[in-house]
């Protein structure tokens, strides 16, 4: 039996970005009544139009969750994007409410027991400690046999009360939160039991020897001690103790398993309750301390046990849950999140941490972007960190001027370094995900909650700020590029209309390259100006360097010829190739009768009595 998330039945579908179903469980197939379709596309297999419409809105990025009523019951749909995949979860609202009520009841029960035990422990521990002291004095002058027994029992009683106090009131020890190597601590705890492992096979796999977590180290070490101790005691006739640790993008995962007697199915739900034990001489505080320690350090515990086959404890220290006290690059993250801590304060204080997390994601999944930056830190500190800082300052009141100023700075700088605008969009769109991760972390780590209206109001505000920046960035990027292009065009314009005088009142205009409307207008303006300036009477226009001629190009040339004629200058057109002539015939283009044509420049010069 699996304790924890398996108590809730939910539908699950993994989708490709185009909506193709890659895998799903039977619950979602029954719930949505998916019909068969050759393409295996989710939208084609769903009959419910309301679900189709809302799913489409989620795929468009307008939302990531919605509720739908089916068969007189409410269902909650949640979409989560995982790199290039989309995960769709479907929950029954009534089942969720029932599960929450049960969990709240268990929590209240454990809290009541804890308060009671704290009072007992506090009142009883002090006199027991005093009795122990007097017995130590008596031990110096009397027969020690019975006194030793009394001391042993008192030691046991004090140990029980200390354990009870640590479970009922964990803050009693006031242990500080630190970052430490959990792999090293786990191996050290395992070494403490080496003399008790002679009849047990140990299967130890530590994949991530440098795995770090942030929490109360002694509390977590004691939890390891209790789990390993219980596992050994459950295998009195021998067996296998399995200890595994690995780290991935989600966090650090630890499994401690045994092949011992296991836990009966009807007793499994009581696991972790103070004083509950399956051992005859057990105190029932070891596993309770484990659950309590994991809860205090934002870790998750899952228990899988089969009677006669053994028990497995899986501990998960997620990266998001460790953020409240994460130490990274010398910067300590906000360690205390209270109801008075605002989201804006949290984002601004921890902008550096989340920016580094985003940078790590870019290096792992979009490394091609970093090749465009000589200084990789420039990508980090001048891309995402300022965006998160500005977002934090704008959550209460949008700082439009600050957003625009920074967008102008970034947009202009990226345009100057010729950084592709599509990659800039990728950077900012990926930062949107890390920003929402930060917001999610705040609400996980604080006692703050949002109702549906507040959530959507926050979603609109955050995404509007990001969109405003991206739009402004794009505008300034394009503005700089347009100004640069305009400057280049003006330079090219000066060089591309060389009206060259070759004799008195005779000039030549060689045209090279494609001629569009803009360039034709510039050629006309410059040519008319130069013809008037040089007082030319004959102008030879050579188009042998023009690769393509169509109706538009010819029309532009005719306008030039007519303009020149008004200035008293006649025109000879040269350089029409056989291919261009054929194209002009196909297009039905006719040469004006007033325009003389020659096959090449040499023929035109001969016609004007020029010799070699």
190: part of which helix (H) or strand (E)? helix 182-191
Cα–Cα distance for residue pair 379/197, rounded to 1 Å: 52
SS3 state at 141: coil
Cα–Cα distance for residue pair 126/137, rounded to 1 Å: 17
Lowest mean pLDDT among 257-266, 371-380, 507-516, 571-580: 371-380
pLDDT, tens digit, for every residue of 68-79? 888 778 888 888
If you average pLDDT over each of 305-319, 394-408, 592-606, which comes out highest?
305-319
Cα–Cα distance for residue pair 134/137, rounded to 1 Å: 5
Where in the chain do CATH 1.10.490.10 domains reside? Answer: 326-488
Query: Residue 470: its pLDDT value, please?
Result: 85
Q: Are 209 and 246 in contact (CB under 8 A)?
A: no
Query: Residue 140: its pLDDT value, please?
Result: 62
SS3 state at 404: helix
Q: What is the mean pLDDT of the chain?
A: 75
Query: Residue 546: its pLDDT value, please?
Result: 81
Cα–Cα distance for residue pair 409/558, rounded to 1 Å: 46
If you average pLDDT over each of 170-174, 373-377, 564-568, which comes out highest?
564-568
358 contact partners, CB below 8 Å, separation of at least 6: 380, 384, 430, 431, 434
Write down the CATH number for the domain with range 326-488: 1.10.490.10
Query: Residue 118: its pLDDT value, please?
Result: 56
Give the homologous superfamily in CATH for domain 5-96. Answer: PAS domain (3.30.450.20)
405 contact partners, CB below 8 Å, separation of at least 6: none
Asked if pLDDT for residue 6 goes beyond 80, the answer is no
Where in the chain do CATH 3.30.750.24 domains reside? Answer: 497-607
Per the rule left: phi > 0, alpha: psi between -120 and 50, beta: everything else, 79 is beta
- Per DSSP, 177 falls in state P
Measured between alpha carbons, how far is residue 320 from residues 148, 191, 325, 334 in Å?
50, 30, 10, 13
Higher pLDDT: 210 or 266? It is 210
CATH level 3 topology of 102-172: Helix Hairpins (1.10.287)
Lowest mean pLDDT among 91-100, 238-247, 542-551: 91-100
SS3 content of the chain, % helix, strand, coil (to 5): 55, 20, 25
Where in the chain do CATH 3.30.565.10 domains reside? Answer: 178-321
Higher pLDDT: 299 or 384? It is 299
Write down the CATH number for the domain with range 178-321: 3.30.565.10
Which CATH number is 497-607's, of 3.30.1360.200, 3.90.1150.200, 3.40.50.300, 3.30.750.24? 3.30.750.24
Per the rule left: phi > 0, alpha: psi between -120 and 50, beta: everything else, 69 is beta
Statement: the pTM of the whole predicted model exceeds 0.95: no
Asked if pLDDT for residue 432 goes beyond 60, the answer is yes
Where in the chain do CATH 3.30.450.20 domains reside? Answer: 5-96
Per cent of the chain over pLDDT 90 is 5
Residues 17-26 as b or e (16 or more Cβ within 10 Å = b): eebebeebee
Query: Residue 244: its pLDDT value, please?
Result: 94
Cα–Cα distance for residue pair 284/277, rounded to 1 Å: 4
Query: Residue 340: its pLDDT value, please?
Result: 42
pLDDT, tens digit, for every residue of 11-57? 888 888 778 888 888 877 777 766 665 667 887 888 788 888 888 87
pLDDT, tens digit, for every residue of 552-570? 777 777 888 888 888 888 8
Q: Which residue has the tokens 């400690």?
A: 129
pLDDT, tens digit, for every residue of 439-488? 887 877 666 677 888 888 888 888 888 888 888 888 888 888 888 887 77
Q: Which residue has the tokens 């100006």?
A: 529
Q: How confident is the model at residue 10 (pLDDT cuts 50, 70, 90)?
A: confident
pLDDT, average across residues 84-91: 82
Q: Which two tokens stand for residue 325?
A: 């006290």
Asked if pLDDT for residue 256 goes beyond 90, the answer is yes
534: part of which helix (H) or strand (E)? helix 517-534
Where in the chain do CATH 1.10.287 domains reside? Answer: 102-172
Query: Residue 329: its pLDDT value, please?
Result: 34
Q: Which residue has the tokens 């995949």?
A: 85
């Amino acid at each position: 039996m699996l304790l924890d998330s398996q108590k809730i039945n939910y539908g699950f579908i993994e989708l490709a970005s185009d909506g193709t179903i890659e895998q799903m469980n039977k619950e979602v197939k029954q719930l949505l009544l998916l019909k068969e379709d050759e393409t295996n596309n989710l939208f084609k297999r769903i009959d419910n139009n309301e679900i189709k419409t809302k799913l489409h809105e989620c795929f468009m990025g307008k939302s990531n969750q919605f509720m739908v009523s089916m068969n007189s019951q409410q269902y909650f749909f949640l979409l989560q994007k995982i790199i290039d995949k989309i995960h769709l979860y479907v929950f029954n609202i009534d089942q969720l409410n029932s599960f929450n009520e049960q969990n709240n009841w268990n929590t209240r029960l454990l809290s009541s027991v804890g308060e009671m035990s704290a009072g007992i422990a506090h009142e009883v521990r002090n006199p027991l400690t005093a009795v122990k002291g007097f017995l130590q004095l008596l031990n110096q002058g009397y027969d020690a046999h019975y006194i030793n027994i009394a001391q042993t029992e008192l030691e046991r009683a004090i140990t029980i009360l200390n354990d009870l106090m640590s479970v009922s009131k964990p803050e009693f020890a006031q242990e500080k939160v630190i970052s430490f190597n959990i792999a090293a601590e786990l191996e050290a705890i395992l070494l403490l039991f080496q003399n008790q492992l002679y009849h047990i096979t140990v299967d130890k796999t530590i994949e991530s020897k440098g795995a770090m977590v942030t929490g109360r180290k002694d509390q977590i070490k004691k939890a390891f001690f209790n789990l390993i101790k219980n596992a050994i005691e459950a295998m009195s006739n021998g067996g296998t103790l399995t200890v595994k640790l690995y780290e991935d993008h989600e966090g650090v995962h630890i499994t401690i398993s045994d092949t011992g007697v296991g836990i009966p199915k009807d007793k499994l739900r009581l696991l972790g309750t103070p004083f509950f034990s399956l051992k005859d001489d057990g105190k029932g505080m070891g596993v309770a301390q484990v659950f309590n320690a994991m809860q205090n350090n934002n870790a998750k515990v899952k228990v899988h046990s089969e009677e006669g086959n053994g028990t497995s404890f899986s501990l998960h220290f997620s990266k998001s849950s460790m953020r409240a006290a994460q130490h990274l690059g010398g910067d300590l993250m906000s360690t205390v999140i209270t109801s008075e801590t605002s989201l804006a304060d949290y984002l601004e204080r921890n902008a550096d941490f989340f920016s580094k997390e985003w940078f790590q994601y870019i290096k792992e999944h979009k490394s091609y972007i970093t090749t465009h930056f000589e200084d990789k830190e420039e990508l980090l500190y001048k891309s995402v960190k300022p965006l998160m800082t500005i977002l934090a300052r704008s959550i209460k009141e949008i700082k439009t001027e600050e957003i625009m100023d920074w967008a102008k700075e970034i947009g202009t700088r990226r345009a100057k370094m010729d950084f592709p605008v599509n990659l800039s969009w990728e950077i900012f769109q990926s930062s949107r995900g890390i920003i929402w991760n930060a917001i999610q972390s705040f609400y996980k780590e604080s006692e703050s909650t949002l109702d549906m209206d507040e959530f959507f109001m926050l979603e609109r505000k955050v995404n509007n700020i990001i969109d405003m920046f991206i739009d402004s960035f794009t505008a300034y990027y394009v503005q700089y590029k347009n100004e640069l292009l305009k400057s280049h065009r003006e330079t090219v314009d000066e060089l591309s209309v060389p009206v060259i005088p070759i004799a008195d009142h005779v000039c030549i205009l060689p045209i090279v390259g494609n001629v569009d409307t803009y360039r034709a207008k510039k050629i006309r303006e410059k040519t008319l100006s130069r013809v008037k300036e040089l007082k030319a009477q004959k102008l030879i226009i050579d188009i042998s360097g023009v690769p393509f001629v169509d109706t538009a190009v010819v029309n532009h040339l005719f306008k030039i010829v007519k303009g020149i004629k008004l200035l008293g200058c006649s025109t000879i057109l040269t350089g029409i190739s056989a291919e261009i002539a054929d194209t002009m015939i196909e297009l039905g283009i006719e040469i004006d009768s007033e325009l003389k044509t020659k096959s090449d420049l040499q023929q035109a010069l001969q016609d004007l009595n020029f010799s070699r």
